[in-house]
Structure 1
Amino acid sequence: MTLLVIRSIPSYAQSLNWSDSTSTVKVRQQPLDKNQLLTVDKIFIIGNRRTKERIILRELNINEGESLTFEELDEALKLDRRKLMNTQLFLDVKLSMIQLENNVVDIIVRVAERWYTIPSPFFKLADRNFNVWLSSQNRDWNRVEYGLKFFKYNFRGLNEQVYFFFQLGFTRQLAVRYKIPYIDKAQKNGLEFGFSFSETANINYTTEGHRLIFTDSLKEASQSKVGLIGWRFRPSFYKNHGVDLRYYDVSITDTIQALNPDYFQNNGTRQQYFMLSYSFANDHRDFVGYPLKGYRWSAEIAKLGLGIFDDLNLFRLQGEAAKYIPLGKGFYFAGIGRGYFSTPKVQPYANLTGLGFGQRWIRGYELDALEGQAYLMQQNTISKKIFAREFDISQVLPIDQFNNVPLAIYVKGYFDHGYLWNDIPYIENKPLANRYLYGYGLGIDIVSFYDFVFRLEHSWKHDGTSGIFFHFNSAF
């Protein structure tokens, strides 16, 4: 019996280029014809010290006994590698075909697992982003938060997540969360549970000129309790449904209520409500940490206030669609459109959102908080890969999960634009609302493993003002 490795998928270092190119190794035979029908005999999984085989097999579109042409099987291996990488369980995934006979092959799945238990101290800022703290808050070290995060990924080898969070500083918080992706034999249904308790030394009680206004005279401004029960349904590889029921119990001091009677809109200092939401995502990106090819779209509908308490009655609808296109010669295009709508017209200040919150802003407007009932925005980026390499540091750090450090660098140009509607009567001095906004600029992205992304951007706004901004995640 002749053994012939005919195709393999690139290593993780090459995947920083997000390339699907493959290489052929010949052993005493000619490469198979692309239309030749092949039957998969066995699928072998190697390197999964913790991850259960059924979690890996769940992501494969190839099954034992299935017959495909060489071209179809080759393309299926590429797609299956992307899906396995996007589980974020592995540093590296390689899929190979091994020819046993002329028309029979085995599939070898080799995985390099991540570091799944991560207890780590942390130090972060309380503000919406680093740039707000650096500029608007004058680098105030009283606005820092620190504590301990404990993540247990891939708990029991079943892709479960256990999360414990303990925080001191500007906001004191304790949070726990448990997520199990599959509770049934078909591996389609999952559950999530969570609870958090927090106390904040200070909160923004109003907005003036798109700047959040705080009072520095309080030692404790608010307290909140949040509970979560969620159901997840994944009927196919790329589609995810989620239904969440959350309970919120938030209280503020009399001082905050006196400064802004519209904070809860009931002249009280406490707000209780349930929120029921449904979300759907269809994700075909090549790599979720820093995609360069594929597309994604998602939508969410939420009702805040279910009639159990009279504190809130709010409806939200939001969605987004993104496209990532390789242009050739190391150039890439990425674009995304986002929309948000809420009702009624007058909403409590505590529940307002808009552009500048939750990693959604027009680049160049990082310092601006634009609350409103609705917005539309669209972002575009053209990037050029200028560097991609893997560094072996095993002699310095002889740990399997860290001894190879991939690094990729991209230069880019971008243009973002959008419109935010704000007819809220108690918010004054809002020159950026109800008008067309745009921002553009140049930047550099540094990408490494464990989904690390660092962005340095020089952006210009519609009025010609500019600034340099730092971010620690992908733009979209």
Structure 2
Amino acid sequence: MRIYIFVCFFLQHFLSLAQDSTQYIIVGKIVLEGNKKTRPSIIFREIDIQEGDTIPKHKQKLILENIQNRLFNINLFIAVEPQWIEKDSLVSDLRILFKERFYFFAAPIFELADRNFNEWWYDRKRDLTRTNYGALLVLKNVRGRNEALEFNAQSGFIGRFRLSYKIPYLDKKQQYGLTLYFSYHQYKNLAFQTENNKLLFLRSENLLKERYNAEIRLRKRTGFYTFQNIDIRFMKNRIYDTIAILNPNYHLNNNPFQQFWMLGYDYIYDNRDFASYPLKGKRIFARFEKHGIFKADDLDLWFLKAAYQYHKPLSQKFYSSFALGGRLLYHQGQPYSYASAMGYGNDLVRGFQLYVVDGQHYLMAKSTLKYQLVNIIKNVRFMPLKQFKTIPLAIYPKIYADMGYASDNVFSKERNPLANQLLWGTGVGADFVTYYNSVFQIDLTYNKLGQFGLFFNFESSF
């Protein structure tokens, strides 16, 4: 009887182990196809499994999704298609198909010089003289290591010369990277003052301002989602007599020169599915900057800026996004050239795209609810360039609400009335996502001032 019980127990235990083994697979070969230029080491840096690993079957789909998103976000490919190839009941190979981007890019520059398209369209009356034009040359992934060399030369509203070289990884462990950057700007059109939360510009045939900027940045990447940057920068600015007369505090104390060193530090945690238009995941960002390191520097201020994003699918078609961000700035004299608080880039309350708010500290919150109306991929046979044969298009109708507050005790209340009060804006709109992570947004807004607006944007609002 005891032998019978022992045999039954052994058989039950053996069968349970056999059943559990069917819930796992062994990773066979990892096969890369289509990466004609990109080195495998750059790709394997984004893959968190190895040949011979044992993984639960129910995680196979999630693993493919994470690998696809990470490889897509390094901006070397227009398409990434990972798939499992079953070899037998226990072993599956991982096969990843790639379509690489253009890595040599030379193109003319024609861009708007204003803060955003809406300021140019409404306040500047679609003035085509407020544009920059020139040439852009990009050499990316030259040796298959995701390096990037960029050269930019432009004229027009703002003259600019820019050169940068980015090396993503310096070491074999692929943790440390380096960026070198230099730029020179010339201004014959310059925003010299704020009036009623609008920028006042002066246009001249002569130079109004020059700016030199040289920077070295060291990056450390830990795991897949965590980045830290340390950078040191030298800035040299010069304004000419007219600007110093119109705004003596542009560089403080009627000083035509402003020269200083800056030390900065970034912390970034980013596990969003797509950086250009995220639908899932979160991003944590913090930046500290100290302007004026030495006694001889003409500027002495520091700030801490932080932001948090959270994106969540609510169902198969509905998505929500939330963001919270702000800044603390302390100074021993804040010049007008460092007056900006809200109104630049994504640091704005939707509905106030036509306004800027000067100040030291600010806090903002944004929320969006959207619905995936369209998500298609079309193959265009007649297109001669294979990088453009695949046309993705996704459309997301949305509703949103934002609020923000900027604190100011330096600049004139008459010139900056939107400071020191809670601003809010809400509205409806639609986002279009297509080629090369391009985003186009249409927003119908209503704000605290009782103003309706129809606005356009060419990047994500987060």
Q: Structures share a fold, TM > 0.5?
A: yes
Letter in 2 for 1:278: Y
Question: Are 1:213 and 2:174 matched, yes or no?
Answer: no
> Per-residue deviation at 1:81?
1.4
Kindly indicate whether structure 1 or structure 2 has the higher relative contact order, using CA contacts under 8 Å at least 6 residues apart.
1
> Per-residue deviation at 1:346?
4.0
> Per-residue deviation at 1:153?
2.2
Instruction: State the match for 1:300 in structure 2.
Output: 287
Q: Which has the larger radius of gyration?
A: 2
Q: Residue 209 and residue 327 in structure 1: after superposition, are their counterparts in 2 closer, same or farther (change >3 A)?
A: same
Query: 1:222·1:252 contact (CA, 8 Å) conserved in 2?
Result: yes
Question: Are 1:448 and 2:448 matched, yes or no?
Answer: no
Q: Which has the larger share of helix?
A: 2
Query: 1:35·1:69 contact (CA, 8 Å) conserved in 2?
Result: no
Instruction: State the match for 1:284 in structure 2.
Output: 271
Partners of 2:188 and 2:197 in 1: how far apart? 22
Question: Are 1:380 and 2:367 matched, yes or no?
Answer: yes
Query: 1:33·1:70 contact (CA, 8 Å) conserved in 2?
Result: no
- Coordinate RMSD, CA, aligned: 1.6
Moved more, 373-382 or 87-96: 87-96
Instruction: State the match for 1:349 in structure 2.
Output: 336
Correspondent of 1:82 among 69, 76, 95: 69
Structure 2: where are the runs of 5+ without partners?
1-18
Letter in 2 for 1:386: L
Correspondent of 2:159 among 150, 168, 172: 172
Question: Are 1:417 and 2:417 matched, yes or no?
Answer: no
**Which SS does the other structure have where 2:63 is aligned?**
helix
Q: Aligned runs of 1:90-109 on 2, under 5 Å?
A: 90-109=77-96
Moved more, 111-120 or 425-434: 425-434
Question: Are 1:110 and 2:97 matched, yes or no?
Answer: yes
Instruction: State the match for 2:125 in structure 1.
Output: 138
Query: 1:34·1:70 contact (CA, 8 Å) conserved in 2?
Result: no
Instruction: State the match for 2:51 in structure 1.
Output: 64
Q: TM-score, normalised by structure 2?
A: 0.93
Partners of 1:116 and 1:378 in 2: how far apart? 37
Instruction: State the match for 2:456 in structure 1.
Output: 470
Correspondent of 1:223 among 210, 230, 233: 210
Q: Alignment length, in residue pairs?
A: 444
> Per-residue deviation at 1:161?
1.0
Q: Residue 434 and residue 319 in structure 1: after superposition, are their counterparts in 2 closer, same or farther (change >3 A)?
A: same
Question: Are 1:389 and 2:414 matched, yes or no?
Answer: no
Q: Aligned runs of 1:291-330 on 2, under 5 Å?
A: 291-307=278-294, 309-330=296-317
> Per-residue deviation at 1:298?
0.7
Q: TM-score, normalised by structure 1?
A: 0.90
Partners of 1:35 and 1:433 in 2: how far apart? 63
**Which SS does the other structure have where 1:141 is aligned?**
coil
Give 4+ residue runs of structure 1 displaced > 6 Å after superposition.
none
Moved more, 109-118 or 445-454: 109-118
Question: Are 1:235 and 2:222 matched, yes or no?
Answer: yes
Partners of 2:124 and 2:294 in 1: how far apart? 39
Query: 2:22·2:90 contact (CA, 8 Å) conserved in 1?
Result: no
Structure 1: where are the runs of 5+ without partners?
1-31
Moved more, 335-344 or 383-392: 383-392
1:115-152 deviation digits (Å, cap 9, x = unpaired): 22111112111110111112222222221111111122
Moved more, 451-460 or 39-48: 39-48
> Per-residue deviation at 1:357?
1.4
1:249-308 deviation digits (Å, cap 9, x = unpaired): 110101101111111113221111111100011011111111111111110011011115
**Which SS does the other structure have where 2:275 is aligned?**
coil
Question: Are 1:47 and 2:45 matched, yes or no?
Answer: no
**Which SS does the other structure have where 1:140 is aligned?**
coil
Moved more, 74-83 or 374-383: 74-83
Partners of 2:114 and 2:288 in 1: how far apart? 27
